[in-house]
Amino acid sequence: MALSALLSRIVAWLRAGYPQGVPDTDYIPLLSLLAKRLPEDEVRQVAAALVQQGTIPADKADVGVVITKLTDELPTESDLARVRAHLVASGWPIEDDWNDIDQ
């Protein structure tokens, strides 16, 4: 079975950093680094869905709902911030309830 391009890059990164294999004590920290992050195409899909639904200006909850529907996972603060930044950069209005998001 062929590995996806992303998985191949992850395996190459691990092999470069751990040529002798991953020590038992490093598994948990490594897994935390590999947490899901919305790729740029999914950020655009979320923004497009918000526009299509007429959910503009979007608020944090609206964005979180669309991310959850798209990924079947709860959004991270980083994912929310990236969608917010994409909306702002595209000139779409957003609600002002994003205060706890790193901007």
Domain boundaries, the chain: 1-34, 40-89
pTM as predicted = 0.56
pLDDT: is 10 or 48 the higher one?
48
pLDDT of residue 100: 55
Q: How far apart are CA 103 and CA 85, in angstroms?
A: 7
Structure tokens given for 57: 């200006």
pLDDT of residue 103: 44
- For 40-89, CATH number out of 1.10.10, 3.30.420, 3.10.420, 1.10.1740 equals 1.10.10
Average pLDDT over residues 11-36: 73
- Residues near 74 by beta carbon (within 8 Å), at least 6 away in sequence: 64, 67, 68
Highest mean pLDDT among 7-16, 17-26, 32-41, 75-84: 75-84
Q: What's the chain's Rg over C-alpha atoms?
A: 17
Q: Which residue has the tokens 């930044």?
A: 85
Structure tokens given for 15: 């092999």
